[in-house]
Amino acid sequence: MQVATGDAVQKNAFAAFRNILKADGIPGLYRGFGTVITGAIPARIIFLTTLEKTKVASFELVKPFKLSEPVQAAIANGTAGLTASLFSQAVFVPIDVVSQKLMVQGYSGHANYNGGLDVARKIFGAQGIRGFYRGFGLSVMTYSPSSAVWWASYGSSQRIIWSLLGHGNESKSVPSSGQIVAVQAAGGIFSGAIASCITTPIDTIKTRLQVMPVNNQKRLRARQVVKRLIEEDGWKGFYRGLDQTLQQGKLFRQVNALIVSHLREHNLTQAAMAVASATMTPLSTEVPSNKLLQLVAKGLAAEKDEASRGVSSIASFNPTSSILASDGTLPAVDFSAVQDTRGASKIFPKHETRHISEHKNVARCARFSPDGKFLATGSADTSIKLFEVSKIKQMMVGDAKDGPVRPVIRTFYDHLQPINDLDFHPQNTILISGAKDNTIKFFDFSKTVARRAFRVIQDTHNVRSVCFHPSGEYLLAGTDHPIAHLYDVNTFKCYLSANVQDLNTNSAINQVRYSSTGGMYVTASKDGSVRVWDGVSGQCVRSIVSAHISAEATSAIFTKDQRYVLSCGKDSTIKLWEVGTGRLVRQYLGATHSQFRSQAVFNVTEEFILSIDELTNEVVIWDALTAEKVARWQSNHVGTPRWIEHSPAESTFVTCGTDRSVRFWKDLSLSG
Residue ranges of domains in the chain: 31-166+182-212+220-237, 359-605
Q: How many CB atoms lie within 10 A of CB 111?
A: 14
Minimum mean pLDDT range among 144-153, 274-283, 574-583: 274-283
| pLDDT tens, residue by residue, 151-168 | 777 777 777 877 777 766
Cα dihedral across residues 282, 284, 289, 293: positive or negative: positive
**What integer is the mean pLDDT of 635-646?**
91
CATH class, range 359-605:
mainly beta
**What integer is the mean pLDDT of 257-261?**
81
**What integer is the mean pLDDT of 137-150?**
71
Confidence (pLDDT) at 354: 93
Confidence (pLDDT) at 111: 59
Give the pLDDT band of residue 326 (cuts 50, 70, 90). very low
Confidence (pLDDT) at 328: 41
Does an H or E element contain 525, and which?
A: strand 520-525
Confidence (pLDDT) at 120: 77
Q: Over 80: is that where the pLDDT of 615 sits?
A: yes
Strand order in the sheet with 509-514: 509-514, 520-525, 530-534, 540-544
Confidence (pLDDT) at 142: 63
Q: Over 90: is that where the pLDDT of 637 sits?
A: yes
Please state, in angstroms and rounded to a whole number, the distance separating the CA atoms of residues 407 and 389.
Answer: 7
Assess contact for 492 and 442: CB atoms under 8 A.
no
| pLDDT tens, residue by residue, 273-314 | 777 766 667 777 666 656 777 777 777 666 666 555 544 433
**pTM above threshold 0.85:** no
Sequence-separated (6 or more) residues with CB below 8 Å from residue 661 = 355, 357, 358, 363, 637, 638
**What integer is the mean pLDDT of 430-451?**
93
The mean of the pLDDT values for the chain is 78
| pLDDT tens, residue by residue, 374-432 | 999 999 999 999 999 999 999 988 765 666 888 999 999 999 999 999 999 998 999 99
Assess contact for 430 and 446: CB atoms under 8 A.
no
Q: How far is CA 83 from CA 54, 95, 265, in A?
A: 7, 20, 42
Minimum mean pLDDT range among 246-255, 452-461, 529-538: 246-255
Pairing of strands 439-444, 455-458: antiparallel
Confidence (pLDDT) at 35: 54
Amino acid at site 396:
M
More confident of the two residues 581 and 78: 581
The most confident of the ranges 76-80, 128-132, 192-196, 297-301 is: 76-80
Assess contact for 48 and 84: CB atoms under 8 A.
yes
Confidence (pLDDT) at 330: 42
Q: How many CB atoms lie within 10 A of CB 227?
A: 12
